[in-house]
Amino acid sequence: MDVETEATLKPTDQTTQDAKDLAEFGHEEVLARKFNIWSMLALAFCVLGTWSTFAQDLSDGLINGGPVSILWGLALVTFCNTCVALSLGEICSSMPTALGQAYWVYRLWDSRFGRFLSYMCAWINVFGWWTLAASQVAFMTNFLLGMKVMFSPAWTGASKGWLEFVVYIACVFALTLINVMGCRKEKFLPWLNNFVGIWFFGLFFVFCLALLISVGTKEGLSYQPASFAFGKWINQTGWPDGVVWFIGLVQAAYGLTAFDAVIHLVEEIPAPRKNAPKVIYLAVISGAVSGFVLMVVCLFCIQKVNTVVNSPSGLPFMELVQETVGQTGGAVLIALFITNGLGQGISIVTTASRLTWGFARDGGLPFSTYLSEVSPYWKAPVRALWFQGAIIALVGVLFLFAETVLNAILSVSTIALTISYGLPIMTLLLMGRDKLPSGGQFNLGRLGAPANWVSLVYCCVTTVFFFFPSAPNPSGGDMNYAIGVFGVMLVIAVSFWFVQGSRTYLNTEESIPHVIQAHAIANDPLPEPKKEDRRAYTMPQMKIKMEEVRECQPPNSLPKTKTTTMEGSEAPPTSALDTTVRAASPVKPVVSGHTLPRFGGPSITLNPGHKRKAPVAAVWSAADKRVKAPNLRGRRATITTPGLETSKHGPFDDIEWHNSVLEDPEKIRLENSQALVAVYEGILETLAQMDLDLRNLEEMMVDHGYITEYASKNDDAEGK
């Protein structure tokens, strides 16, 4: 084998490997891998936004345990969330796909209930990200209107629902539009995230220095003693201290939630098996450190706790900045803070849209076929972005008449995301860590089980306390309606399962062919078989040696077929996954005097009204004497193979081959695939109908290690 061919057969190029890994999960690569590890870390750091989130939610920490809860609760949450990040990073390394946690549950728990649990996990995760995006926009709306209150404390416009709604809608529209247009230029979105990340990191130092310098230099201001900053316990809730400790963890948990942003953007970063886990735990650690430092600064610089908690603007951090830095300086800092918050909103909307698109792509959302399209012009899932924007905008309608319900919806994001983290970890522990697919490049080893258990306990305990009201025996206005909102979410998810999800979720026509192709392709040339084994790999006996591929549970919808060997004996039932083999490109078998195009893989085009093209493995069953295509019974379709075009309307009971050269390469989606798909169970009959030069194909397969001797040579050797 020459060097050039060997290089072609052995795809060391990371791009090829990433595409193959994605095909293993049933998907074609349609999004550019435009992020690198640093731009992805910048995005994750901004999405977590730990120090700014702590600043926005300062009052909850001050009344639910005070400095003790804020700092030492953060230390505990950091340890637990690091375990969660490591656990999810390990699973992500084995199964890097945008659907993330939900897909992992499906793969680890291979049963009907596992698929249902996966569907529920997907909805919980999607709800979590939609409400997280809504909460970020709502925070920025409050800060924008709060700027006016800084200069006019008597102004009541900030509490007018219609004005809040208008500002909210404007922010949602702007963030969505930037995400759509930002993908048009491949490098713009990573550049923007890098800029926002650097801005965010720099602003952190600006706030810390401004607060410390102002308190240290202005008359009438003084630092709090260390005993207050590190040891003061404050309980203004009425709950027992033990309960308050756990409720106080909400602030820290909220600030360290959403590190799964990396998971849902994993299809846009190269080498995700290696890079994604790193970004996940680095985001948690960097966020925790920045949050801890800012909270220490705030606790030393705070002057009067009650004044900050009962701020006229309703924003304690804004009151703290104004109290220490002054009105003008505080306004400048808050303006910078709001600008950065909108940049964070861009990153959050980006992540949420990829999860929405991934869920639609796997048949989980209503109108999934429509929502899963990626615009070739904008190079982004534009439909998913605008659909998601509409959902987030609808949440803002509650500003007009039900702000209590709105606050409950916004608070449910942490709960939903925490549950979505716990479900795949729980599934991994129940099914056994040995069920984790091979191929991952981030393995926890002996630390895996302890980290998984810590993660699961943390997710369970904190979720329970997240539903607690702010005080015992609450009035209607003080009640925590998050549990009601979450219950409604579950009802919606279950309803959609019975209406659509049970039929379509992770059971799409597009996914099956990709899985088959990913496992039919051998990464490396086959090892040279031993001399005494050569006769086992000759063409007439149809014993084609294939490279071992990673274990993968084929989709439940793959048809079972009975195969027949060339001697006429019936073979055991096997799945279509096992009956697919590829010869290697760039060898081009001759077809009626024409040469096959250098594009691998048959494709399927559904008619009428379906624009989508996806590769399909059309399985020729020698026993049934017909071509079988998964999930295409009774559909009108056109099967296109490289250099051959076949049209059959209705059920695939038989096939007519036309030896016409395919002129339009756009019909073949996997232009970089490495092989021509064939089916070994009926390969001679199939090739005969295609009028291929069999000797040419045998020579090609010998050259590339799939078989080791010509059939004619064996015939001569045995006197046949």
Check residue 219 and give its pLDDT. Answer: 86
Give pLDDT, residue 128.
93
| Beta strands 636-641; 626-628: pairing state | unpaired
pLDDT at 281: 93
Write out 138-204 in H/E/C secondary structure: HHHHHHHHHHHHHHCCCCCHHHCHHHHHHHHHHHHHHHHHHHHHHCCCCCHHHHHHHHHHHHHHHHH
Kindly state the tokens that stand for 328. Answer: 């003008």
Query: Distances from the Cα of 431 to the Cαs of 105, 277, 434, 436, 656, in angstroms?
Result: 10, 22, 8, 9, 47
Interior CA angle at 48 toward 44 and 53, to 5°?
155
Whole-angstrom Cα distance, residue 659 to residue 676?
A: 16
Q: What local confidence, expressed as pLDDT, does residue 158 receive? A: 66
Domain 34-507 has CATH 1.20.1740.10: yes
Distance (Å, rounded) from C-alpha 468 to C-alpha 175? 32
Domain with CATH 1.20.1740.10 in the chain: 34-507
Residue 277 preceded by cis peptide, ω within 30: no
Amino acid at 485: V
- Count CA atoms closer than 13 A to 627's CA, side-chain side: 25
pLDDT in tens, 186-241: 788 888 888 988 999 999 999 999 999 999 998 888 999 999 999 999 988 888 98
The tokens for 411 are 């608070």
- The pLDDT assigned to 716 comes to 42
In angstroms, the CA 27 to CA 450 distance is 33
Residue numbers in the chain where pLDDT is lower than 50: 1-12, 514-698, 700-702, 704-720
Calpha distance 316→332 (Å, rounded):
17
Burial of residue 498 (number of CB atoms within 10 Å: 0-12, 13-18, 19+): exposed
Query: If you write DSSP's letter for every residue of 235-271 in order, what string do you get?
Result: E-SSS-HHHHHHHTHHHHHHHT--TTHHHHTGGGSSS
Q: 193 burial class (0-12, 13-18, 19+ CB within 10 angstroms)? A: buried
Q: How far apart are CA 147 and CA 191, in angstroms?
A: 29
